[in-house]
Chains A and B, each alone.
Chain A
Amino acid sequence: MRRRIRLPVLLAGLLASAGCGARRSTTVVVYVSEDQVFSEPILKDFEKETGIRVRAVYDTEEAKSTGVMNRLLAEKNNPQADVYWANEPIRAGLLRQQGISTPYSPGNAKGIPSQFKDPQGYWTGFSARARLLVVSKTAAHKPAGLQAYLDPRWRGRAVIANPLFGTTTAQMAALFSLWGDQKAKQFLAGLRANQVKLSTGNGESADLVASGAFDFSLVDSDDAVSRARQGRPIEIVYPDQGEDGAGVFLIPNAVVLIKGGANTENGKKLMDYLVSEETERKLAAADCAQIPLHPGVPTPPEIKPVDRIKTMKVDYAEIAARLTAIQPVLKEWVGY
């Protein structure tokens, strides 16, 4: 008899021990959309330095960085997370609209320019990616900005990631915000007319250009830098840097305090840690090659410092609001 009950009792004991310690004052629960390979070392360092145990949920490439967003939305009425580390601030805006986040302005973010922070503290930006053009070295012509997508010289030779997902969604929302609905819709129609190829993501776009199958694509700076570091035949172009140009769209990471989390004070400590100069230095040195927003923190060698780039002047809160409004347009354009 003793033998028969041994396995179930053992399993129950192990399961119970696996679930123990779910909520302690020395714990912080963080949901992370930034790639785990880059975010986990930062969180481990936080654990070492503060003694606060970090319990993290990470996102997958497969879920286009939206898996934990779905989880946050589904958990709205009984939040399990204390902090959300988003890889862009647009969905942080969506959380605010849904009443899932609460304001907190980390003291360590004082040096970060105000355009990268929510004025009411619903999110704080740090370590940005830039939306750059990756251009094949074999291309006959070099594009200078987004209008190249509409230029007949690149008919059927340009590629862009599916705008329903990831940073390309944010880019489109930014264009709608900057240009207004009419011009942005004309741009979308122009992409179709000029036979721009639609890829599943920025990584695929960068690979298509690096292989020479296409001349250029709008991608995230980390996609461009990784191909450059692999020695692939590409060049990086900062789009729309001329006098009339709109500039480069910068997408910072964003850290958000979740309303009703069980470990809010620890959550605030983690937020302060994430937006610090030290974290930005680590993320700049890592393979993700992110651009520091604190003045004076070294930038990855392949990327220009933020003060030497003409950046797009956008209101991220407005982009978040636009995102919901333009979804039917994007959906129709993609053909869903």
Chain B
Amino acid sequence: MGRVLSAKNVTLAGAAAVLIVAGLLPLGVMGAKSLGHYGPVLSNARNWKLLANSLLLAGSTTAVAALAGVPLAILFGKTNLPFRRLFAVLFSLPLLLPPYVLAVGWFQVLGSSWLFGLPGCILVLASCYMPVVMLLTMVYLRTVNPALEEAGRLSANGWRVLTGISLPLAAPGVILSLLLVFLLTLGEFGATTFLRFDVFPVASFTQFSAFYDFGAATAAAMPLVAITLAGLLVERRFLHGKTFAFRWAAPAESSRIRLRALGPLLLLAVLAAMAVALPLSAIFWRGASPRALGDAFHRAGDSALRSLLYAVTAATILTPLGFLLSYLIHRRALPGWRLLDALGLFLFTLPGTVLGIGLIVLWNRPATNWIYTTPLIVIAGFIAQYTALSTRLMLAGLSQVPVAMEEAAELSGAGWVRRIWRILAPLCRGSIGAAWIVTCLFCLRDSSLPLLLAPPGLDTLTARTMTLMANGAPDLIAALCILLVAVTALPLAALAFVWRRRA
């Protein structure tokens, strides 16, 4: 009995309970409403065509993001290229904006005839999500033990070491990033609607917006379950049993692959200009006037502060939650760990509208007004939607810490809490930082949950930008996007500051 109620089991069960309450309960509410709607959804030929469109778009976007993101990560993470940090920041900028906003930026550059349809969607979404591949690959390349690479360099050149040792060892991170890009693209609705390409989330959206049929909308979202589970299986297939010696450090300058700088620099400059500078400069050109920025701050300054507050709070909860759940999953510490893993990923892919309505139906009662009428409901939504992100990031970090280290500490008499605090957390600090900043960024750029859940008068900057986009002046909208970029830069700067101080 004492063993069952150990600090470890109680803590891990508590973490699982948070995910279940935040995510599974609203899902259950929506699931109950959806019974009886699956027949029409599955027998509708149009839905299958939309699903095929979504898979085509997600597959193509993932391929383009991989083709661009992995080489860029190698360039910035493993070579001596000048200005590599500056380029890494530049290529990451599109991730700070909702895809819908980026689509508007591209529209101002290219116009409709060039942009609308599948190619335009791939262009916008790949430029938006490529940084996920680039950043995660960079993070995982840094986790490769330099001793292994140094040993390799005794008998092979830098590129051979990279392709034979570094990249295979960083493969879990690359695969995780590809899975994330695939799932994010699969659930994308706003940008695809703007770019006139019908995708599967339209089926669920139409049930909500044209027919107000919550049950049918939920049923229409369910085919994503199968795809998510398939993605989970693929990821598990590649990650299973991958445990490596871990060391979190930037590679020594001498170990970097030497490049002749001019060629790659020119190529990067052209790529950065095309993929990042064009849409963002269109936004900056329109919105960077003092008048537009002043108007944007006047209209949405309070929303910007709230965005930051909600995102930082959610990320600060999601990081330890992800750590505990990843421990639970990696060590298979409690029965049902596989289901928790699947639940987290499923919630991540679920359209925000389905999750949002589920949360409203569940929590909007007089007894729980203290949750529903306060920002706690938005935080609950973020926890439900993004736990998978922090869990996956932590899981990949945890999988690189040999279990033997914890076992040795246990044999020495260290309790579970002490082992976590003194051994695992310090060894995973890179993943902890990555989980915090990634979840913070995703919460900052989320619009669908705040639009549905933010209490009246307490909206976020993304929600306000989206509502002002309806017939709002283009200068104001562009200025709001600049404000969003500025707000997003704050947690990045805070994390960089902490990292530097620790280093």
Contact = CB atoms under 8 A, between A and B. Distances in A.
A85 B263 CA distance: 59
Contacts of B470: 35-37, 59-61
A70 B365 contact: no
B373 A80 contact: yes
B361 A74 contact: yes
Interface stretch (A15-23, A178-186, A298-306): A15-23
B309 A60 contact: no
B196 A60 contact: no
Interface in B29-67: 44, 46
Given A7-B316, A60-B451, A287-B471, A74 B214 contact: yes
A16 B376 CA distance: 9
* Main secondary structure on B side of the interface with A: helix
Question: Interface size bucket, A side?
Answer: 35 or more
A56 B457 contact: yes
B456 A62 contact: no
B466 A62 contact: yes
B190 interface: yes
Contacts of A55: 455-458
Contacts of B369: 22, 78
A57 interface: yes
Contact of A15 (B44, B190, B376, B451): B376
B209 A64 contact: yes
Given A35-B471, A71-B360, A336-B46, A164 B206 contact: yes
Given A19-B374, A81-B456, A37 B306 contact: no
Contacts, number: 147
A70 B376 contact: no
B374 A18 contact: yes
Interface residues of B, number: 55
Nearest to A208: B112
Contacts of B194: 62
A61 B194 CA distance: 10
A22 B373 contact: yes
B6 interface: no
Nearest to B212: A73
Nearest to B111: A211
A326 to B, nearest CB: 12
Nearest to A21: B457
B211 interface: yes
Given A60-B451, A78-B366, A23 B316 contact: no
Contacts of B376: 15, 19
Most chain A CB within 10 A, of B203, B454, B455, B470, is at B470
Nearest to B198: A200
B343 interface: no
Interface string B451-467: 11011111100001011
Given A15-B374, A61-B470, A56 B456 contact: yes
Interface in B273-332: 299, 306, 309, 312-313, 316
B427 interface: no
A62 to B, nearest CB: 5
A15 B208 contact: no
Interface in A260-283: none
Contact of B452 (A70, A204, A335): A70
Contacts of B353: 70
**Which of A60, A164, A287 has the largest number of chain B CB atoms within 10 A?**
A60
A11 B208 contact: no
B145 interface: no
A169 B451 contact: no
B44 A336 contact: yes
A18 B190 contact: no
A29 B456 contact: yes
Contacts of A58: 459, 464, 467
A75 interface: yes
A78 B313 contact: no
A60 B210 contact: no
A38 interface: yes
A18 B46 CA distance: 44
Contacts of A67: 209, 451-452
B390 to A, nearest CB: 17
A75 B364 contact: yes
A16 B313 CA distance: 12
A242 interface: no
B472 interface: yes
A130 interface: no
B357 interface: yes
A53 B457 CA distance: 10
Contacts of B312: 11
B74 interface: no
B233 interface: no
Interface of A: 7-8, 11, 14-16, 18-19, 22-23, 29-31, 35-38, 40, 53-64, 66-67, 69-71, 73-75, 77-78, 80-81, 94, 164-165, 169, 200, 204, 207, 222, 226, 287-288, 327, 331, 335-336
Interface of B: 44, 46, 100, 112, 189-190, 193-194, 196, 203, 206, 208-212, 214, 299, 306, 309, 312-313, 316, 353, 357, 360-361, 364-366, 369, 372-376, 379, 451-452, 454-459, 464, 466-473, 476
Given A36-B464, A204-B196, 17 more contacts: A11-B312, A11-B316, A15-B379, A35-B470, A36-B470, A37-B468, A53-B457, A55-B455, A62-B189, A62-B193, A62-B466, A63-B451, A78-B365, A81-B456, A164-B210, A335-B46, A336-B44
Nearest 7 Cβ contacts at the A-B interface: A19-B374, A55-B457, A55-B456, A61-B470, A58-B467, A66-B209, A164-B210
